[in-house]
Amino acid sequence: MTSRKRYSSSIDVARLAGVSQSAVSRTYREGASVSEETRRKVLEAATALDYRPSMIPRIMLTHRSYLVAVVVGGLYNPFYANVLEIFSARLQEAGYQVLLMYTDSGHTLDGIIPRLSSYRVDAIVSALAVMSGAAAQDLARLKIPVVLFNAALANNWVSSVSSDNVGASRAMAAHLIERGATRFGFIAGPANSSASKDRFAGFRDRLAENGVQPLAFAEADYRYEGGRAAALALFTDARPPDALFCANDLMAMGAMDALRTDLGLRVPEDVLVAGFDDIPAAAWPSYGLTTVIQDASRMVDKAIELLRAKMAHHDGPGGIRTIVPATLVARASTAR
């Protein structure tokens, strides 16, 4: 029977280097005072013993792990895959390590909260919403800051950073009106997506101000296939929309392909189509999709600013909602 590997300890390193255990600890603690000679001896001994410093004593001593849990779901959307990459790089630059946690829900954080409570993380970041009051209370009991990305604000421990979903969608409605559309449709994300709700509200209200009613509506799942199916459902009406706004780009691309391939309609000559996110494929010539640019880099920076500010307070400084401007980019899909 093979015995378990014994890992070298800081005591082993200190003994081999001929220094104190505290000198070993100082060598691996950023900003601590240690002579170059001592540092050399410690690092040479650590290499010889294949020693790796453990974070556990530091966590027990300081009650800080410098771990930030990034909870992800719905990485089928390239926008959030890009956000995850930016978050990971920026958090590491700020001295934190990322604990990546996946949930099969692409829209809500509720189901993963019991798992989060078993890790000693300093903060939580997620693009998933907190939907239930019980889940919000569970997060508050963790007493660590939570920053939601493009999702709804829940309580005084939970803050959020969002694009200006309402304002950008109002601008999209004005753009489609300007391009001559008279009958409008909206393909929403799931009912529990706060970002989709805001995008629909901005679009609907701006149309209503211009006397446009009713507004054709279909719900999908933020995926290409969902957008395709929703578009086909909307276009069973005798007078279908001549302008279609989708809550994200993937659904808009699915809708465009349904219109062209299944219904024999032209985009933009018969139907104007627009999306939201500006994923790389939106600019491909086969789509040329009019969409809304979310400033992912700025949103991540704002989220990390919130995290650092909130981690400096241990009494729950209160929920903060930060709105980052978004920009409409017009392409061929609305160039009637």
Exposure class string for 286-314: b at 16+ Cβ within 10 A, else e: ebbbbbbbbbbeebbebbbebbeebbeee
One fold for 10-54 and 64-162+296-324: no
pTM strictly above 0.85: no
Where the chain has pLDDT below 70, the residues are 1-7, 30-31, 53-65, 74, 104-111, 117, 129-134, 152-155, 312-318
CA distance linking residue 143 with residue 162, whole number of Å: 23
Q: Is 72 helix (H, G, I), strand (E, B) or coil?
A: strand
Q: What is the CATH number of domain 165-294+329-334?
A: 3.40.50.2300
What was the pLDDT predicted at 59?
Answer: 54
Q: 193 — phi, psi (to 5°)?
A: -95, 115
pLDDT digits (tens, 9 = 90+) for 297-324: 999 998 888 888 777 665 555 678 889 9
Q: What is the pLDDT of residues 232-242, one digit of tens each?
A: 999 998 889 99
> If you search the block for the tokens 């909870």, which residue do you land on?
71
Decide if domain 10-54 falls under CATH 3.40.50.300.
Answer: no
Q: Where are the domains of the chain?
A: 10-54, 64-162+296-324, 165-294+329-334
Class of the CATH-defined domain 64-162+296-324: alpha beta
Residue-level pLDDT at 129 = 64
